[in-house]
Amino acid sequence: MAVAISLIPARGGSKVIPKKNIVPLAGKPLIAHSIEYSLSCSLVERTIVSTDDPEIAEIARHHGAEVPFVRPSELTQDDTPDFPVFYHALNWLRENEGFCPDLVVQLRPTTPLRPPGLIDRAIQMIMDDAQADCVRSVRTPACSPYKMWKREGGYLKPFIKIGDGESYNLPRQKLPEVFYHDGLLDVIRASTIVKKKSISGNKILSLLTEDSFLVVDIDNPVDLVLAETFLKHNQKG
């Protein structure tokens, strides 16, 4: 069986909600929800948090995660993409521990609500397809990009067109099926990150999540209230 780890990126800097990754949500720090989700999966060998913040590191350890390294400051900027963060983590584990996992599960602490068993399903999918670089959780958007617009020279222009036709005037059933990344998780081959220098690769499997399950990306105080309400409702149910 492939060796899988979870990697939870959680830098200390956040503008709209200070210390966002450890803000309380339903009685525990935000990051704890993703840590506990990872620890509940028997297919994940290690749950690792990548952070530059000592307080986040302490809280992560308290809830059962490993924090074996400090993320370099140059990888903690507002515009730092995922790839160098994950490449640094895998490189550190290889150089300092001689540890080289096969799969990396990305869990963003800002999307704490996940349906049960998602990691297991994603790992099984990528293990069943030797050509796949990554599994990405996706769902159908409320609005198709074929019905979206941009402004050029003061006028609306279609964001995407199908040939020379007016795709924006077609019924939804006539448009291509599209998906968006809901941020719940990715399962990535370590070789995709280390060798292909990519966080996803080109051959990406889709793990379709149910539209009925609420996805909340914590970006502002309203998102926190929404997530709190959802969790309280589920606990009562």
The residue segments making up the domain with residue 101 are 4-138+181-236
The b-or-e profile of 132-149 (16+ CB within 10 A means b, else e) is bbbbbbbbeeeebebbee
Domain identity same for 122 and 158? no
Say yes or no: 53 and 170 in one domain. Answer: no
DSSP structure class, residue 21:
G
User: Distances from the Cα of 120 to the Cαs of 68, 92, 187, in angstroms?
Assistant: 25, 26, 10
How many angstroms separate the CA atoms of 207 and 136, rounded?
6
Say if residue 127 is in the same domain as residue 217: yes
Of 120, 154, 174, the residue at which a domain comes to its end is 174
- pLDDT at position 237 is 47
Q: What is the pTM of this model?
A: 0.92
Q: Is the dihedral of CA 220, 226, 228, 230 positive or negative?
A: negative
Give, to the nearest 10 degrees, the angle between helix 30-39 and helix 54-62.
40
- 10-residue block means of pLDDT along the chain (237 residues)? 95 87 95 98 97 97 98 93 97 98 98 94 97 96 91 93 83 89 96 97 95 83 91 67
Residues 187 and 162 in one domain: no
Q: Are residues 10 and 118 in the same domain?
A: yes
> Which pLDDT score is estimated for 27?
93
Is residue 190 located within the same domain as residue 113? Answer: yes
Indicate the residue among 154, 174, 194 that finishes a domain. Answer: 174
Same domain, 122 and 157: no
Do 9 and 40 share a domain, yes or no? yes
Q: Are residues 112 and 155 in the same domain?
A: no
Q: Does residue 69 sit in the same domain as residue 16? A: yes
Q: How many domains does the chain have?
A: 2
Residue 153: per-residue pLDDT: 93
Q: Can you give the pLDDT at residue 212?
A: 64
CATH number, domain with residue 102:
3.90.550.10
Q: Are residues 127 and 149 in the same domain?
A: no
Predicted local confidence at residue 235, as pLDDT: 61
Q: Are residues 34 and 93 in the same domain?
A: yes
